[in-house]
Structure 1
Amino acid sequence: MKIVVASHNKHKVDEIREFFKGDYEVLSADDIGSYDEVEETGKTIEENALLKARAIAYLTDELVIADDTGLFVDYLDGEPGVYTARFAGVNATYEDNNNKLLNLLKGVPMEKRKATFKTVIALIYKGREAIIEGKVDGRIIDAPRGQYGFGYDPIFYVDEIGKTLAELTLEEKNKVSHRANALKKLKEYIKNNLEDRK
């Protein structure tokens, strides 16, 4: 079975490919022919993940997955949430988003900086649709730390491991991150529900 990731984001595809190494071949949207970026018009990350999966499912008979991730900061009443990727504007860079978040939390004590990273994976295969969710709890620190990862990884500190997500290698991150937790559930779902439908 092959898995097509409805994304042009190389970092994301590499993480998913590494996770499934030895189990399934992982292809990107580029591997099966280009398609326009999907406008994320959903009101939730679940809706956005489904929009992206449906936009590419008609191009292939393989299992299609699309994910959307939200960072939910308690002090900011759950922001940036569904706007995580474009928190500082439509064409914002990772650095822009991080700087906006750090500015909003300036002077806020560490105990009030609790946050949850949540990834939702939408899958479509032979007419079946499903939603799988994974999350990791942590807090937003004052300044970026670490050389790995992308997005908010350098400022998202996981108390359990005493590091930011950007201080973890890809192998380490694929054991504890929100996306990893969702991918573990996805792997179980595929084994239990889809492998007999090949």
Structure 2
Amino acid sequence: MKMVLASGNQKKLVELEALLAPLGFELVTQSELGVPEAEETGLTFVENALIKARNAAAHTGLPAISDDSGLEVDALQGAPGIYSARFSGVGATDARNNALLVEQLQALPGVPLTARYHAVIAVMRHANDPVPLIAHGAWEGEILLTPQGDGGFGYDPHFFDPLRHCTAAQMPAEEKNRISHRALALDSLLQQLKNLREKI
């Protein structure tokens, strides 16, 4: 059963392929099929994940899977949120996004630095699917103003897991992939897909 990944990200493809192959799904990226990027006009992770999945399904006629993820910081009223990847504006980079995050928090001395990563994964059987599968995972933590660790990506050097006493950037990749927001969302999705497999 072929399914299109609403992304051109090869790392995501490899990760999802390994998880979905035992269920009989073959993944192909939307870029391989010439699908244009969807404009992410949603105001939530769920909306943007659905927009991307619907776009891929509409252009290919195949079931589609997509994800949307980001960092929510309580002291910043949920920012950077859905804008996590482009927090610092046009041409945003991890370094610029992290610098802006620290700058905004330093302007609020004494505030709690609680935060969480979110990941939402959506699966649509077709572009007009009225009951898409939606899976959510969250990873609770705190923001460190001084980065620690050189692994991971995005906000990982500033995202501290108080249960494991290290940042996401200091964790072995195997551990991060087991306990992260995306891992939790994927676990939830796999359970739903097992139930849906015969209907796709």
- Shorter-chain TM-score bucket reads 0.7 to 0.9
> Against the structure 1 CA distance between its residues 18 and 169, is the aligned structure 2 distance closer, same or farther, given a 3 Å change threshold?
farther
TM-score, normalisation: structure 1: 0.86
| AA aligned opposite 1:66 | S
1:44-59 mapped onto 2 (5 Å cutoff): 44-59=44-59
Q: Determine the C-alpha separation between the residues in 2 that align with 1:66 and 1:105.
A: 31
Instruction: Encode CA deviations 1:160-190: one digit per residue, 9 max, x unaligned.
Output: 2222222233322221111110000000000
CA RMSD, 1 decimal:
2.4
The number of equivalent residue pairs is 196
Q: Secondary structure at the match of 1:123?
A: strand
| AA aligned opposite 1:27 | V
| AA aligned opposite 1:12 | K
CA contact (8 A) 1:61 1:125 kept: no
2:70 match: 70
1:131-170 mapped onto 2 (5 Å cutoff): 131-170=134-173
CA contact (8 A) 1:15 1:170 kept: no
Instruction: Encode CA deviations 1:3-34: one digit per residue, 9 max, x unaligned.
Output: 43211233433443454465554432233x12
Q: Secondary structure at the match of 1:83?
A: helix
| AA aligned opposite 2:162 | D
1:83 match: 83
TM-score, normalisation: structure 2: 0.85
Q: Determine the C-alpha separation between the residues in 2 that align with 1:178 and 1:78.
A: 16
1:29 match: 30
Q: Determine the C-alpha separation between the residues in 2 that align with 1:47 and 1:90.
A: 22
Shift of residue 195, structure 1, vs aligned partner:
1.4
Instruction: Encode CA deviations 1:44-91: one digit per residue, 9 max, x unaligned.
Output: 111111111111112445431111113110111111112111111032
**2:175 is the alignment partner of 1:172:** yes
Percent identical among aligned pairs is 41
Q: Determine the C-alpha separation between the residues in 2 that align with 1:110 and 1:166.
A: 25
Q: Determine the C-alpha separation between the residues in 2 that align with 1:111 and 1:18.
A: 41
> Against the structure 1 CA distance between its residues 77 and 125, is the aligned structure 2 distance closer, same or farther, given a 3 Å change threshold?
same
Q: Secondary structure at the match of 2:106?
A: coil
> Against the structure 1 CA distance between its residues 4 and 190, is the aligned structure 2 distance closer, same or farther, given a 3 Å change threshold?
same
Q: Determine the C-alpha separation between the residues in 2 that align with 1:157 and 1:111.
A: 16
| AA aligned opposite 1:131 | I
Shift of residue 109, structure 1, vs aligned partner:
6.7
CA contact (8 A) 2:133 2:189 kept: no
CA contact (8 A) 2:5 2:56 kept: no
CA contact (8 A) 1:110 1:139 kept: no
Q: Determine the C-alpha separation between the residues in 1 that align with 2:12 and 2:95.
A: 17
Q: Determine the C-alpha separation between the residues in 2 that align with 1:182 and 1:120.
A: 6
